[in-house]
Amino acid sequence: MKCKRWHVFLPNPEQFFAISICLSYILTQSHVTHLISGDLNMNDSEQLSLDQIFVDRDNLYREENLTDLKVATIRRLVPIKLDGTDDESRPIMYIAQTSIMSQMGPLPIQAPIQADTLEEAVEKFPQTIKDAVDQMVEEAKEMRRQESSRIVVPGAGMGGGIPGSPLGGGIISG
């Protein structure tokens, strides 16, 4: 059975621009990003080489995907023990997922939902997505602000002061 996928449109054109910047930033990173936690930067100390990958046997979850076949997908992560039985000592986690349209095309959005039950997760879904988009827009505005505060210093000599060239020039970050 094929699902028809719908997208949420943002009314504010400035949000489109900010989301496009954020998407470009995410796609140019050479490492995996943590979108669920909202951390767009992964420290070098957090990167693992292939020989360091392992399964955390004490942190296993069964993933269930629940959807309304329109805009909402809720991932329910049920903690389990190594034998596959539910681990009642840890809470179930819920994650909101949807896609919004930006000028660069569909942009996946996901964020943790602070809920104890599926019913509570369904009720909190719209506000969770709104908060995640608002946070992403603010982060994109901050990145744009930081980028605009950089000063390009022309170098002396031939070459027009190409930043990073031996002929001088460069960027001063404010």
Residue 3 resides in a domain:
no
d(CA 1, CA 69): 11
Which residue range is the domain that position 67 belongs to?
A: 8-172
Residue 92 resides in a domain:
yes
Strand runs labelled E in 47-133: 60-67, 73-80, 93-102, 105-113
**Count of beta carbons in the 10 Å neighbourhood of residue 145:** 10
**Cβ-count burial of 35 within 10 angstroms (0-12 exposed, 13-18 middle, 19+ buried)?**
middle
Q: Which residues contact 39 (CB under 8 A, 6 or more apart)?
A: 33
d(CA 60, CA 43): 24
Cβ 137 vs Cβ 145: under 8 Å: no
Task: Please tell me the predicted confidence (pLDDT) of residue 49.
Answer: 83
Residue 1 resides in a domain:
no
Task: Please tell me the predicted confidence (pLDDT) of residue 64.
Answer: 97
> What is the separation of C-alpha 152 from the centre of its chain, rounded to a whole number of angstroms?
30
Task: Please tell me the predicted confidence (pLDDT) of residue 151.
Answer: 73
Q: What is the residue type of 80?
A: I
Q: Which residues does the chain have with pLDDT short of 50?
A: 1-42, 157
pLDDT (tens digit, 9 = 90+) per residue, 30-57? 333 333 334 434 455 567 788 888 999 9
Q: What is the residue type of 109?
A: I
Q: Decide: pTM greater than 0.95.
A: no
d(CA 126, CA 118): 14
Task: Please tell me the predicted confidence (pLDDT) of residue 7.
Answer: 38
Residue 162 resides in a domain:
yes
Segment (H or E) for 9: strand 8-9
